[in-house]
A and B are shown apart, each in its own frame.
Chain A
Amino acid sequence: MATGVSGSEAVRVKPQEKFNFFQDERVRSVFFQILTVAIVGWLAWFLASNTAQNLDKRGLSFGFEFLDLVAPFDPDFKLISFTAGVDTYWRIFIIGILNTLYISFLAIIGMSFLGFSLGIMRLSNNWLISKVALAYVEIARNVPLLIQIIFWYSVIYAVLPRLKQSLDLSFGAELAFLNIRGLYVPWPVLGDLLWMTFLALAIAAIATYLFRRWVQKRQDLTGKSFPLLLPSAAILIIFPGLVFLLTGSPLSWDIPELKGFNFVGGASLPRAFIALLIALIFYHSAYLAEAVRAGILSVNKGQGEAAMAIGLRPNKVFSLVTIPQAMPAIVPPMISLWMNVVKNSSLATAIGYADLVAVYMQTSLNTAGHAIEIVGMTMGFYMITSLTISGLLNIYNKRVQLVER
């Protein structure tokens, strides 16, 4: 092909491009970019100036000074202390964020475990198990989440006893109670020397880690495996337990007690919290189950056969060959489901759990005004949380790419 280039071919020149200003691709692209920026800029300016004008007309102001004002109400569920009549809207904001993160965190853990179990159950050879899992998934996915939340809220109300007949979960020891208002459990009161027990626990954890490494090394060297679970548990329990007893058991319990119209002392989880937690787990685990099932099915059938052909037992085939290959397909949808859990927890407001939306974007907004600031801050929180979680996903994707090649 390269041989025998004739003279005339060798001197061929690039044809002169005809430059037409209005038809040129580059000119057009720059033009449209400028136009877009101009329109967006004008819209932003229009909204901002109009808002400012209107706020002015109504004698309102824009600003975040209200955050320092004392909030005239007391959120009914909080992880940090709140003194009515002293603490500010800023503290309400923090309480709301913590409440949202708290329930989201528990729901994420719950739905991850349940979702994996259900996904595996769906693939079971046992007819009953797989059909039960299928029914669960279909029900949980086909009923709107809001309705599920209200359903669980009502179920708890219908099933649980009233205050005076509270269910004693400690079998007569009067330590933990369940009734239509929620769950009441003892809460630890930390003593002075308790840090020594924590130190002991940390040391035991490190010892367990070293022990496990030693077992792994031994298996590498001799092929013999060594029981892991019992010795690990012994180290983790016995050593800190001894330290705890020797330092005079520096821990007491605040036990809930029925006084008048409610339980006081201990810790409590209100009915709304329990209902929301169950609903979030129930709903999202069904979607995760489908992702897990699809991920496992996406692994080539020949992989399992090859693993069985070298003599691996089914459980080892699953954990050493199938699951590692399914994970890259499972993790991305799982992480975006975690994101959904955080966002959907805002439906708490329907049953009155004091999440960020209920306690800040509704109650605070009603008493303090400043809708734009409050809604903006709330949106900002959800955006930052979601972006953080999707950051996790990016890190995971990068790592998977590195490992595969």
Chain B
Amino acid sequence: MSNSKTQQDQNTPDKLSSAISSEIMIELGTVNKWYGAFHVLKDINLVVHKGERIVVCGPSGSGKSTLIRCINHLEEHQEGSIVVDGITLDKNLKNLDHIRTEVGMVFQSFNLFPHLTILENLTLGPIWVRKMPKAEANANAMKYLERVKIPDQADKFPGQLSGGQQQRVAIARSLCMNPKIMLFDEPTSALDPEMIKEVLDVMVELADTGMTMIVVTHEMGFAKTIADRVIFMDQGDIVEENEPNEFFGNPQHERTQLFLSQIL
């Protein structure tokens, strides 16, 4: 962690300006979720505006992954409402399809498709979901590969890339669907320290374009740079929620203080 902090200090010293609009992108109303008898999410209320960047942190098992996986319905919630881009997540499959195309997701373990080339990984969604012509999908994919700075890897297979490169491809794969919202679940925690920065750089650039983002991460330097709000979760609760300087400089809750003292 200390490693990335120094990187952040050197490379992204300025706090990004943000352009939060009043338009609401995501709204969670008293969401509850259980795994069997285990109560994972407890009365979660969260409103995310267009262009807002949220960092979620908290101890292992506190429900961070579950929270963001509920937003694109990789997990099902049992109580409460989730509204994404004006569409309520319910049993209606059309709504689900729509939300999935609007929300991109990046996983801790990359989850690239190993049987497809990098280019094919990027064009799979546009071709089959967006019904984009192949040539256009290829051009579109190359544009995003350039944005994540690995256009020369287009014809390789995921197994031939380093972890950092794979995660950048995964980000590009989501962006190819032209989503309005990006979810990140600990995108750098499976990476060697020297690769963390290359991924964070890409994410900072993405934040700069005004993308609405929810990022689960423990990279505090990164959080200070991009976050409009930091959310601290513990045992299924949102315990504390504040803008980053206040959050790190002056945490209110005991549990937050304890957590911060452990990771900083």
Contacts and interface: CB of A to CB of B under 8 A. Distances in A.
Interface of A: 219-225, 300, 302-303, 305-313, 316, 320-321, 324-325, 403-405
Given A309-B74, A310-B125, A310-B173, A325 B133 contact: no
Interface stretch (B77-85, B111-119, B192-200, B208-216): B111-119
Contact of A404 (B109, B115, B174): B115
A405 B161 CA distance: 12
A310 B124 contact: yes
Interface stretch (B36-44, B97-105, B146-154, B230-238): B97-105
B111 A303 contact: yes
Contacts of B136: 223
Contacts of B113: 303, 306-307, 321, 325
Nearest to A321: B113
Contacts of A308: 74, 100
Q: 6 closest pairs, A vs B, by CB?
A: A220-B134, A310-B125, A306-B111, A302-B111, A311-B129, A309-B105
B111 A300 contact: yes
B173 A302 contact: no
A9 B255 CA distance: 63
B259 interface: no
Contacts of A225: 131
A405 B133 contact: no
Nearest to A328: B115
Given A223-B130, A306-B105, 5 more contacts: A305-B107, A306-B112, A309-B105, A311-B101, A321-B113
Contact of B125 (A305, A312, A324, A404): A312
A10 B6 CA distance: 46
A312 B74 contact: no
B132 interface: yes
A325 B116 CA distance: 10
A311 B100 contact: yes
A296 to B, nearest CB: 14
B106 to A, nearest CB: 9
B160 interface: yes
Given A300-B111, A302-B111, A309 B133 contact: no
A309 B121 CA distance: 13
A305 B104 CA distance: 12
A405 B160 contact: yes
Q: Among B109, B127, B134, B160, find the residue whose CB has the most chain A CB atoms closer than 10 A.
A: B134
A309 B71 CA distance: 11
Contact of A325 (B97, B115, B124, B177): B115
B133 A302 contact: no
B129 A310 contact: yes
B248 interface: no
Given A310-B177, A324-B115, A404-B159, A223 B125 contact: no
B111 A305 contact: yes
Contact of B134 (A219, A302, A310): A219
Contact of A320 (B72, B128, B159): B128
Interface of B: 72, 74, 97, 100-101, 103-105, 107, 109, 111-115, 124-125, 127-137, 157, 159-160, 170, 173-174, 177
A309 B177 CA distance: 10
A320 B121 CA distance: 11
A305 B68 CA distance: 13
A312 B124 contact: yes
A250 B244 CA distance: 85
B104 to A, nearest CB: 7
B190 to A, nearest CB: 11
Contacts of B103: 309
Contacts of A222: 133
Nearest to B137: A223
B111 A224 contact: no
B21 to A, nearest CB: 24
Contacts of A324: 115
B174 A220 contact: no
A313 B113 CA distance: 16
30 contacts: A220-B133, A220-B134, A220-B135, A221-B135, A222-B133, A224-B131, A300-B111, A302-B107, A305-B74, A305-B107, A306-B105, A306-B107, A306-B111, A306-B112, A307-B124, A309-B103, A310-B100, A310-B101, A310-B124, A310-B125, A310-B129, A311-B101, A311-B129, A312-B129, A325-B113, A325-B115, A404-B115, A404-B157, A404-B159, A405-B157
Nearest to B176: A310
B109 to A, nearest CB: 6
Nearest to B170: A306
Contact of B104 (A219, A221, A309): A309
A312 B157 CA distance: 21
A150 to B, nearest CB: 44
A309 B131 CA distance: 16
B174 A312 contact: no
A302 B177 contact: no
A324 B74 CA distance: 22
Contacts of A300: 111
A405 B105 CA distance: 27
A309 B100 contact: yes
Given A302-B107, A312-B129, A320-B128, A221 B74 contact: no
Contacts of B134: 219-221, 223
Given A309-B72, A309-B74, A405-B157, A320 B124 contact: yes
A221 B159 contact: no
A223 B101 contact: no
B51 to A, nearest CB: 21
Contacts of A404: 114-115, 157, 159
Contacts of A320: 124, 128
Contacts of B97: 311, 313
Given A223-B136, A320-B128, A311 B114 contact: no
